[in-house]
């Protein structure tokens, strides 16, 4: 009789242990789901890194527009023929005229030229407007010649107001300046004659 009671007690304990283990496992999985989910990027984060399509139909020769990509300002400059001539004029004074050094992203192969732009749209410069020294945003100084904080033979370009680094009209840094590298050129492509996408090219998204 005693043996039967012990068997019933052991059976009850076994059932209780199995039930507890199963419920604990379910609870553990439920607790892990939100935790694991926290590793997935939020919709806001995805949007911040997503390619940006830009309408450039209103961008006239000599005009500059700024758009945001990955939380950074990106310039789109429609250079005039005179500006393209100034790009060549600046070469002897540049620290890295052939863009051999990399700042934070590799130079797209299709922009590996003096204009740092696509050959079929060489007038359009697309560059990340973040100084490679300490991250300030340079200001446009397109006018040639002597002016405050610039040399007398200034060919036109950009001046960083923080520590005086200067860049030519292709975003290449001049010699003997605090900034060590040229401005970044992001991947981009044209989707039509009046529209381009920043952060994506023929190889896919950046």
R_g of the chain computed on alpha carbons: 29
Residue 16 has pLDDT above 80, yes or no: no
DSSP 150: B
Q: Say how many residues make up the chain.
A: 206
The predicted-structure confidence for 33-92, as pLDDT tens digits, reads as follows: 333 334 444 455 445 679 999 999 999 999 999 999 999 999 999 999 999 999 999 999
Instruction: Delimit the domains of the chain by residue range.
Output: 1-40, 46-205
| Residues 162 and 149: beta-carbon distance below 8 Å | no
Give residue 14's pLDDT band: very low, low, confident or very high (50, 70, 90).
Answer: low
Q: Which residues are registered as beta bridge partners of 87?
A: none
Task: Using DSSP bridges, classify how beta strands 188-192 and 166-167 pair: parallel, antiparallel or unpaired.
Answer: unpaired
Cβ neighbours of residue 104 under 8 Å, at least 6 residues apart? 184
Q: Residue 189 has what pLDDT?
A: 98
Task: Classify 65 in phi/psi space as left (phi over 0), alpha (psi -120 to 50) or beta.
Answer: beta
Query: How far from 36 is each of 23, 42, 48, 141, 153, CA to CA, in Å?
Result: 20, 13, 22, 49, 59
Q: Residue 65 has what pLDDT?
A: 98
Q: Residue 206 has what pLDDT?
A: 77
Closest to 183 (Cα-Cα) out of 96, 103, 87? 103
Cβ neighbours of residue 119 under 8 Å, at least 6 residues apart? 110, 113
The token pair at 199 is 């952060």
Q: How far apart are CA 88 and CA 95, in angstroms?
A: 14
Q: Scan for tokens 């890295």, then name that residue.
A: 96
Where is average pLDDT lowest: 11-15, 37-41, 67-71, 155-159?
37-41
Cβ neighbours of residue 140 under 8 Å, at least 6 residues apart? 64, 158
Q: How far apart are CA 147 and CA 188, in angstroms?
A: 34
Instruction: Assess if CATH 2.102.10.10 describes domain 46-205.
Output: yes
Q: Residue 26 has what pLDDT?
A: 46
Average pLDDT of the chain to the nearest whole number: 85
Q: Residue 33 has what pLDDT?
A: 39
């Amino acid at each position: 009789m005693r043996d039967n009671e012990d068997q019933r007690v052991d059976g009850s304990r076994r059932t209780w242990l199995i039930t507890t283990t199963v419920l604990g496992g379910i609870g553990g999985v439920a607790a892990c789901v939100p935790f694991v989910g926290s590793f997935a990027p939020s919709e806001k984060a995805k949007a911040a890194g997503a390619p940006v399509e830009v309408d450039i139909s209103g961008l006239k020769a000599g005009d500059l527009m700024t758009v945001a990509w990955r939380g950074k300002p990106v310039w789109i400059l429609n250079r005039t023929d005179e500006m393209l001539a100034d790009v060549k004029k600046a070469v002897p004074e540049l620290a890295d005229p052939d863009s051999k050094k990399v700042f934070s992203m590799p130079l797209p192969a299709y922009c590996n030229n003096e204009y740092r732009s696509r050959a079929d749209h060489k007038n359009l410069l697309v560059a990340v407007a973040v100084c490679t020294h300490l991250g300030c945003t340079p200001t446009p100084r397109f006018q040639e010649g002597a002016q405050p904080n610039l040399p007398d033979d200034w060919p036109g370009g950009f001046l960083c107001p923080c520590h005086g680094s200067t860049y030519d009209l292709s975003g290449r840094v001049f010699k003997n300046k605090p900034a060590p590298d040229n401005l970044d050129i992001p991947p981009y492509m044209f989707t039509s004659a009046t529209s381009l996408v920043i952060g994506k090219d023929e190889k896919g998204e950046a």
